[in-house]
Amino acid sequence: MLRARFRLLLASTTLTAALVSATQSQAQSSGTAGAGDTSPNRAGKLTKAPQLLNFKEVEAPYPPSERASEKSAEVVLQIAISDRGEVQEVVIVTTAGPSFDTAAIESAKRFKFTPAEIDGRAAPVKITFKYSFEFKDEIIDLGPQINYSGEVLDSTAPRKSPRPLPGITVTVFDVKTDDAGKKTRTKLAETETDDEGYFEFEGLPAGTYTVVVAGPAIASVETEETIQDKKGLEVKYKVEPKGAPDEDEITIEVIAPRIQKETTTVAIKTEEARRVPGTGGEALRVVQNLPGVARAAFGSGALVVWGAAPQDTRVYLDGARLPLLYHVGGFRATVNSDLVRAIELAPGGYGAEYGRGLGGLVTVDSRALKADGFHGYAAADLIDASALVETPLDGKTRIAVAARKSYLSQTLGVFTKEDVSELVPIPSFYDAQVKIERDLGENETLSLIALTSNDKLRRTVTNPDPAQTISDERTTVFHRLIGGYRRAFADGSSFTLTPSIGTDSFGYTQKFGSTPTEQQIDAVVFGLRAKWRGKVHPTVLMNVGVDIEGTQSKIRRRGAVVLPPREGDITVFGQPPNDVTNFDDWNVLLASVAPYAQADWELFGNKLHVVPGLRMDSFLVNGDKLYPTREGTEQRGYLRNENVLEPRLAIRYQASEKLSFKAAYGQYHQPPVAEDLSPVFGNPNLGFGRATHYLGGFTYRPIEKLSAEVTVFTSQSANLSARSPAPSPLVGEALTNTQDGRAYGGQILLRQELTAHFFGWVSYSLIRSERKDREGTPWRLFDYDQTHVATVVGSYELPFGFEVGARVRYATGFPRTPVQGAYYNSRRDLYEPYFGSQNSIRIPSFFQADARISKRFVWPKAKLEIYADVQNLTNRQNREDIVYNYDYSVKNYITGLPTLAVVGARLEW
Amino acid sequence: MVTARIAYVFRITVAVFPAVAAIAACKPNFDERASEVRNYRILAIRAEPAEWVKVIDPDTGTAKLASYSALVVNPLGTLPSEQLQWAFCTLPKPLTELNDVSIACFEQSADYIMSLGDGPNVSAAIPDNACRQFGPDTPEDQAYRPADPDGTGGYYQPIRALYYPTDDLVVPALGKARIKCGLPGASQEQTSIYNRTYHLNGNPTIDSLVAIRASGETPVVAREDQADAAPLVVGPSESLDLRAAWAACPATDACGDGYCGPTESKDGESSAGGCAADCSPEKTCAGAERYMAFDLETRALRERRESMRLSWFVAQGGGIVRDDRTGATEEETTVATTNRYTAPAVPGDYPLWLVLRDSRGGVGWKSYVVRVQ
């Protein structure tokens, strides 16, 4: 084991000549009027010099780009100060180079002075200011500091390409020996290495300690370290992997609300997420097991978050909206997990940076690409095959390419004689991503992501009865080009610009007998997100920006106005569709510009965070059809503008080291979807749905890595679109904004984060979601209501590279409307049901146990994992939906999959 | 109550990397089949004429009536259906309901239930506002959304039939009388052509039923054609093919062929499609008729052909038909359809019903007797 020590280097910027006397300044100004003396009172006498008030708060750091030079520098500035003490202008008098000049100017612009007085009256003045930068190798007592830090590296990696080991636990023990010679070991602190293998401890008292470095992928090692008073210790631990460390870990984070990530998020690392049984090795699917998320109906992959409709929860990749998080069926994510740094699910109450959705928010962040050589993976299982390669192109540019292709329909065909696709549509999908990243400067990066996702579902059921011949084809294709520019400034602020453009294409073509149901949506989507984030005050962190999004949609639809069914439609599984038909094609532009501002205000010594935010969304709805097409009549379009203000507020209070409280409130608006703006099938005048979220809760961390989080919430929504209940609705009013919604409940998450051998969590959500279709009707259960959802996940690492895990899930069944009888429809030769009270019964509860076993093989330059993900261990026949016989006199259930093993292998290098 | 049998519709065993994966989809099969008559049932409702347009009788000065009848059965055979109650429902269906008619049509309300009387058949004129309630016509001063047509461009007046075999049992059924209305969104010229070349639908007729064995074909005579017709004699558990045929309609129009086709009209020169011989009055065909329809997507008139659908019914214990329904699509020009019939093992006489429907709402039926001996 190699151990290195180093000196604590503190780059310090000091003010050596804070203020030249005002008299001098005045004299200097007076004498050098050509240099810009703008004092309005040249003849007066300076009676009070301006005093700098906030140097410490805005002090410029030593420029990182100059650290290697370790040189000292002085920048002489001329600062114009207003009669209120505000800095109006900063001019370089003596330069010290671009880095020092920029740092000095940025700092000086934020100076605050006491007003100068001339002849006893406040007056504007100019001063000369010398800003000195010194590189010091010194120790400054600034309170608790990081005094023990370092990296954990793979000792088998080439010396020139050090390989950091993330997720390694570093524990500091204080070992005491009593008089009898017996040693007692007390844990002082523990932490875990980050993506770069880095760890740090703050404020360790001086002394000699035993340090244990341990992790699932390495052999535990132990050493002694000595912390000296007022001195820092930095180390590098090189350890030999015994298993397969996840070098490209991502983080799955759940925030509720997103107030301050450090205390209100639950982070589940990729190495955990991939190992969660039932996910088939797809890290992003772990979201489906988190509290607040309903269990999706079999094969749907829909995200139902806090009782909101799936389409109300929006998904973003690096700030650009994606139409889908999962491929059809929910087996895989549309973005390769290995390109993702973090995914955050905010079930509600999120901040002003995002909007246009009434439900939850899923933000996916791509990771930085590796610069240390050629890496990648290849994986295959029963469902699909995928691969990723990444490499640096030069010292500043890196590229990664990933692709996935499913072959489930083919693999099923190999093992069954029956044409499975006639009975159950088997999804076929592929996706691909390319990411290029270039460093423009030390703190400036440019990136470009191109991605494509394609889903196809096809089924044809032939029947001697022409009315029973079914064909069903659905395609979902989207492409995105997402740019990213990020610059971090010396003062800690940052600017991010994310332009994006792409296309969406959603189509379904169904034919039930001679009854067609078709819809094709082709859209061009574009967006631009600009954000500045930085401190405007020592206690105030601002996040301001603008979020622009637009969708130009071209839509063609044919079929019954009541198809496909919407939320609130009373129907039963498998009911033949209505055979009335209509047709429309229309174009809609939905665009919105939303400036926003959000402040994170620290109070009471960082114990209390108050995060107010405000977002103004200005929507534009432009359609080409206000009325159904009529030969000989000129069509009229429409253009509407609607502005909404959305206040948001979040509060977090750190009551103690172990206990924190949180609360949030927010207003949200959602524009109508383009497919609802048809004058034939929908309503071109549909308004905006709106919702208000309230939530509160606390997090308790009794010991390191063990936490309990409790959140309660309520969401009130109104103006939701629903079918017109009128027997004869007006033209262009097949849909109306008459529906209200409400959801309320709570969730608990008890979680043990990854330790040496174990991780797991227990989550439980109690959520009630209801709808009121129009004024005067009673509240009813929402179609996606799932009152109880409980999940237990655990994984344990065994010797010799083996690991076993289990997951147990319980969920209330979705509501359904009981069939009370049926009449015979002679024209169509079928029975049609009549119903009881809407959503007054439920599908029986879901219960399932899954298990996962894996074996890892690790070589110096590669590792291989073989796993079996066994779903439904107990072979329980879970009921997924209710079906009836031909005349609705007998009820039965569609049941879920029996025991199913998804076997796969993954090779990484 | 019949207990449903759960059957896995597919089961797959997968061996990959020596592990085993098994998938079974999970759709239940039901014992009950639509072709099996287990209790009182209404199998069909027929309007005559099959498509309504208001025609004033010059003798009476009132609208000519349409008659409505039903095929009512139980496992023992066809019933006289004296206990049928007939009514029009005048309430449009709200978009919040996915069925063919408003469920309120099966409630009792004088506001929208118009009684037509009781008995095996009734006669009535369609309400004058039917095209407004169930079709594309809307009052000029009120911008109501026009009703959508079915796939053939048709609109229908709902007819409710309630059969009361006993005092405490009711068998509900919905009939729909096709009504000729205007075209939604069409130009005046298109409407004019349509009115000239769209001809009212005629009910289809089952022309023949033939039992096919290796030894040869045996015609089966329907009870409607001959009350004392000889039954089809089969052996216990014998399987044989049954072929039902309907009339062959002319594939192209020719004046004088006895069928008023979509390129013909009662007025005008023969060179322009005028054919009084076939179209005054309009002569229909008892098979898959061709008709003129307005395509909502292309917004053009085009000629189409009816699809045909034959429903097979046997009494519980009276044998099994392989397929509940057979037929011909719009593209298929066949005039017959075949099904496999397996006789019961127990000797006796068993009923067999065939109901033929065209896609424009026309209905015809025949009843047969199968003797197992």
> What DSSP letter does each residue of B251-302 carry, written as one string?
SS--TTSS---TT-BSSS-GGGTB-HHHHTTBP--SBS-EEEEEETTTTEEE
Q: Which residues of A594-614 are buried (b: 16+ CB within 10 A; e: fewer)?
A: bbbbbbbebeeeeeebbbbbb
Q: Which of A581, A772, A817, A824 to mutate to test the interface with B (most CBs of B within 10 A)?
A: A824
- Chain A residues lying within 8 Å of B91, measured CB to CB: 727
In this prediction the pTM is: 0.76
Q: Provide the CA A489 distance to its chain's centre, in angstroms.
A: 24
B300 close to A (CB below 8 A): no
A26 close to A44: Cβ distance less than 8 angstroms: no
Closest C-alpha among A458, A6, A421, A535 to residue A236: A6
Please give the biggest Cα pair distance in chain B. Answer: 87
**Whole-angstrom distance between the N-terminal and C-terminal Cα of chain B?**
31
Alpha-carbon distance A523 to A449, whole Å? 19
Question: What are the structure tokens assigned to A404, written together?
Answer: 């996935």
- Which bin fits B319, alpha (ψ -120 to 50), beta or left (φ > 0)? left
B30 band by pLDDT with thresholds 50, 70 and 90: confident
Judge: A581–B357 Cβ closer than 8 Å, yes or no: no
pLDDT for the residue numbered B11: 26
Give the number of other Cβ atoms within 10 Å of residue B278's Cβ: 22
pLDDT at residue A97 in the model: 83
Residues of chain A with C-beta less than 8 angstroms from the C-beta of B4: 885, 890, 892
Beta-carbon contacts of A293 under 8 Å, excluding residues fewer than 6 positions away, are: A287, A303, A304, A305, A345, A347, A765, A789
What pLDDT was estimated at residue A208?
Answer: 85
pLDDT given at position A586: 96
Backbone angles phi, psi at A10, to 5 degrees: -115, 115
Percent of chain A as helix, strand, coil, to the nearest 5: 10, 55, 35
Using the Cβ of B298 and the Cβ atoms of chain A, whether some distance falls under 8 Å is answered with: no
Tell how strand B325-328 and strand B320-321 pair up: unpaired
What residues form DSSP beta bridges with A554?
A522, A587
Rounded to whole angstroms, the Cα distance separating A311 from A304 reads 9
Query: Measured between alpha carbons, how far is A891 from A883 in angstroms, rounded to an integer?
Result: 6
Tokens of residue B101, six digits = 């008619």
Please count the other Cβ atoms lying within 10 Å of the Cβ belonging to residue A17: 12
Q: What percent of chain B has pLDDT over 90?
A: 65
| B202 and chain A in contact, CB less than 8 A | no
| CB-closest option in B10, B99, B297 to A420 | B10
Return the number of other C-beta atoms located less than 10 Å from residue B29's C-beta.
Answer: 12
Give me the residue label for tokens 């023969």: B270
Chain A interface, best mutation among B294, B297, B313, B324, by max A CB count within 10 A: B297
Given an 8 Å threshold on Cβ–Cβ distance, is B185 in contact with A731?
no
H or E element at residue A107: helix A98-108
Ranges of chain A whose pLDDT falls below 50 = 1-43, 137-143, 243-266, 417, 419
Please tell me the predicted confidence (pLDDT) of residue A174.
Answer: 86
Residue-level pLDDT at A305:
85
| CA distances in angstroms from A67 to A10, A84, A337, A442, A443, listed in the order given | 10, 37, 36, 12, 14
> Which residue of chain A has the CA closest to B363?
A827
What distance in Å separates the CA atoms of residue A487 and residue A501, rounded to the nearest whole number? 22
pLDDT of the residue at B90: 93
Structure tokens at A374: 């050629």
The answer to whether A610 and A648 are in contact (CB under 8 A) is: no
Q: What is the structure's pLDDT at A7?
A: 25
**CA A829 – CA A833 distance, rounded (Å):** 13
Structure confidence at residue B139 as a pLDDT band (50, 70, 90): low
Render pLDDT for B144-198 as a digit per residue (tens, 0 to 9).
888 999 999 999 999 999 999 988 899 999 999 999 998 888 888 999 999 999 9
Count the Cβ atoms, other than its own, within 10 Å of residue A125.
28
Interface A-B: count of C-beta contacts within 8 A: 252
Mean pLDDT confidence for B40-44: 96
Q: What is the DSSP string of A264-284?
A: HEEEEEHHHHTTSTTSTT-GG
Q: How many angstroms separate the CA atoms of A496 and A533, rounded? A: 9
Between chains, do A631 and B326 touch, taking CB under 8 Å as contact? no
- Please name the residue ranges forming H helices in A115-170: none
pLDDT over threshold 90, residue B46:
yes
Per the CB < 8 A criterion, the answer to whether A901 and A868 are in contact is yes
Q: How far apart (Å, rounded) are the C-alpha atoms in residues B290 and B278?
A: 14
Nearest by CB: B98 against A565, A725, A883: A565
Question: How far is residue A735 CA from its own chain's centroid?
Answer: 32
Tell me the Cα Rg of chain B: 24
Distances (CA, A) of A528 to A501, A525, A532, A550: 9, 11, 14, 9
CA A781 – CA A814 distance, rounded (Å): 9
Residue A549 CA to residue A572 CA, distance in Å, equals: 37
Beta-carbon contacts of A552 under 8 Å, excluding residues fewer than 6 positions away, are A523, A524, A525, A587, A588, A589
Average pLDDT on B298-319 reads 94
C-alpha angle A884/A885/A886, rounded to 5°?
A: 120
Residue B299: CB atoms within 10 A of its CB come to 16
Is the separation of the CB atoms in A767 and A789 below 8 Å?
yes
Residue B85's CB is within 10 A of a number of other CB atoms, namely 16
| Contact call for A514 and B30, based on CB within 8 A | no
Strand-pair category, B169-179 with A819-825: parallel
Structure token pair of residue A340: 């993702």
Report the C-alpha gap between A265 and A64 in whole angstroms. 31
Report whether the peptide linkage leading into residue B149 is cis, meaning its omega lies within 30 degrees of zero: no
pLDDT at position B68, please? 96
User: CA nearest B176: which of B357, B16, B366, B329?
Assistant: B357
Position A263 scores a pLDDT of: 28
CA distance B57 to B54: 10
**In what helix (H) or strand (E) does residue A672 lie, and over which residues does it extend?**
none
Q: Is B331 on the interface with A (CB under 8 A)?
A: no
Backbone angles phi, psi at B4, to 5 degrees: -75, 145
Alpha-carbon span B294 to A549, nearest angstrom? 40
Res A372: pLDDT: 79
Residues 145-184 of B with CB under 8 A from A: 145-151, 156, 161, 171-176, 184
Q: Would you say A298 and A896 are in contact if contact means Cβ atoms under 8 Å apart?
A: yes
d(CA B318, CA B240): 14
pLDDT digits (tens, 9 = 90+) for A846-867: 999 999 999 989 888 899 999 9
All residues at 6 or more sequence positions from A900 whose CB lies less than 8 Å from its CB, including other chains: A870, A871, A872, B21, B22, B23
